[in-house]
Amino acid sequence: MRSTTLANVEYQRGDTSGDGTVSIVDALCIAQYLAKSRQLDTMNAVNAASPRHDGASGDKITITDALYIAQYKALLRDDCFNLQGDKAGGGSPPAGQLDSDTIVEIGSAFLPPNGSTQIPISVRDIADPDGLGAYDFKVALDPTIIRVDGVQAGQDPFSDPAAYTIDNTNGVVLLNDFYSADQGPTTDITVAYLAVTAIGNPWDATDLDITITTLSDALGDDMPAVDIDGFVCITQ
């Protein structure tokens, strides 16, 4: 029987780009990977891209990993990516102890043929006391009825998505962002706008189906949330 020994390969947690250091560039690499605008070419990069340990179920790469790296660079996490300072050892209440689920909502619009508008994507009713830390959303729509022209800045501190991709062939938009502070906003906030143009016929309509891939608070804990879809209807 032939046996094979696999060589040990070292990688640095958080060094997604593989340049030997952990920087905000690594957080952006994760954001771009999640938005499908970048590939992680090696297993080292995949391993390094998950500084947050997700438990016995195995690690997976989420926008919370980018949040951890950003907080590490802001000196809010130590070399093992544990929180330090006032919130060390802290954590959000279990989901059942929060007053209600947070709401992620995309707006709606009526547009004339060839008309354009910006449709807000908002996070509201934030019950988590640590506030919003990171999000990763997917929006699906009918690309024969509207065209997505861009993803525009929302409100501070989520004033510019870290990464996004627009696929007008299949009608899919991916967008994400993170905030490096250990206290996020707890009031209603618009995190981004979709710039769209009506390209269909009068009385055509499309749902704007928003899916929450990840929503986490400023400590990196998952936030229970529900999504509310929108629509665009073309008028005469």
pLDDT per residue as tens digits for the range 108-117: 999 999 999 9
pLDDT per residue as tens digits for the range 29-87: 999 999 999 888 776 677 777 777 665 555 688 999 999 988 988 888 888 888 887 66
What pLDDT sits at residue 161? Answer: 83
Least confidently predicted of 15-19, 32-36, 68-72, 148-152: 15-19
With a cut of 90, say whether residue 149 has pLDDT above it.
Answer: yes
- Token couple for 70: 């950003």
Q: E-strand spans in the chain?
A: 102-106, 109-111, 116-124, 132-140, 146-153, 163-167, 172-178, 189-198, 205-217, 225-228, 230-234
Residues in the chain: 236
27 touches 162 (CB < 8 A)? yes
The contacts found for 18-21 with CB under 8 angstroms, 24 or more apart, are 18/42, 18/44, 18/45, 18/48
What pLDDT sits at residue 97? Answer: 47
What pLDDT sits at residue 13? Answer: 79
What pLDDT sits at residue 11? Answer: 57
Sequence-distant (≥ 6) Cβ neighbours of residue 78 within 8 angstroms: 72, 84
**CATH assignment, 95-228:** 2.60.40.680
pLDDT per residue as tens digits for the range 88-108: 555 555 544 455 689 999 999
Domain map (residue ranges) of the chain: 95-228
Ranges 6-10, 19-23, 162-166, 229-233, most confident? 229-233
Return d(Cα 15, Cα 40) in angstroms, integer.
12
Q: What is the pTM of this model?
A: 0.84
What pLDDT sits at residue 131? Answer: 96
What pLDDT sits at residue 10? Answer: 52
Mean pLDDT of the chain: 86
Question: What band does 160 get if pLDDT is binned at 50, 70 and 90?
Answer: confident
Return d(Cα 44, Cα 187) in angstroms, integer.
39
Other C-beta atoms closer than 10 Å to the C-beta of 12 total 17
List C-alpha distances in Å: 152 to 97, 99, 223.
35, 31, 24
pLDDT per residue as tens digits for the range 121-142: 999 999 999 999 999 999 999 9
With a cut of 90, say whether residue 235 has pLDDT above it.
Answer: yes
Return d(Cα 156, Cα 132) in angstroms, integer.
12
Single-letter amino acid code for the residue at 202: P
